[in-house]
Amino acid sequence: MKTQTWHIKYLKWFSADEIYETSKNWNSELNFIKNEQHFFESLFHQFAGSFVKSRETFIIREVLYDLAALKEECTILIWMVTRHINNLNLLIDEVNRIQEEKTYKETHQKIFDAMNDFVLKHKNLKTTLFKLVAKDLKEIKKKKNYC
């Protein structure tokens, strides 16, 4: 006898004001992350010489690949959020377009899920990158102390 699994998903129907505030916060967060990614690139280039000498070149390549992928994903999310904000008039106008409004709110939920996934991936990359840099700085300090 097979047991039936249930997949219940709670969807909150946001008001137009809540959607606008959330989208505005997403836009701000994404632009901050984009600037942070530029900082990570410059940080990597600053330590590139010692990274090349490192035995962990595979990890470094993976981090660079992930950073490039996240930069592209960030650009796409910024575009999606901006478009989402621009289409907010569907909820504000006095015309009742029930199906379009429902689709808009479902899109909001999809962007919400995508943002959560993106932020988690970004935090993981950040942790990995800072561990690499910290390890490299410790090795540089050891070398200076021994010389």
Q: What is the pLDDT of residues 85-140, one digit of tens each?
A: 988 877 777 677 778 878 888 888 899 999 999 999 999 999 988 888 787 777 77
Look at the alpha carbons of 124, 115, 29, 44 in this order and tell me if their dihedral is positive or negative.
positive
Q: What is the pLDDT of residues 65-91, one digit of tens each?
A: 999 999 999 999 999 999 999 888 777
55 closest CA partner among 145, 122, 139: 139
Instruction: Compute the 3-state secondary structure of the chain and give helix, strand, coil in percent, each to the nearest 5.
Output: 80, 0, 20
Torsion on CA atoms 23, 25, 31, 36, rounded to nearest 10 = -140
Query: pLDDT at position 88, please?
Result: 82
SS (H, E, C) 67-125: HHHHHHHHHHHHHHHHHHHHCCHHHHCCCCCHHHHHHHHHHHHHHHHHHHHHHHHHHHH
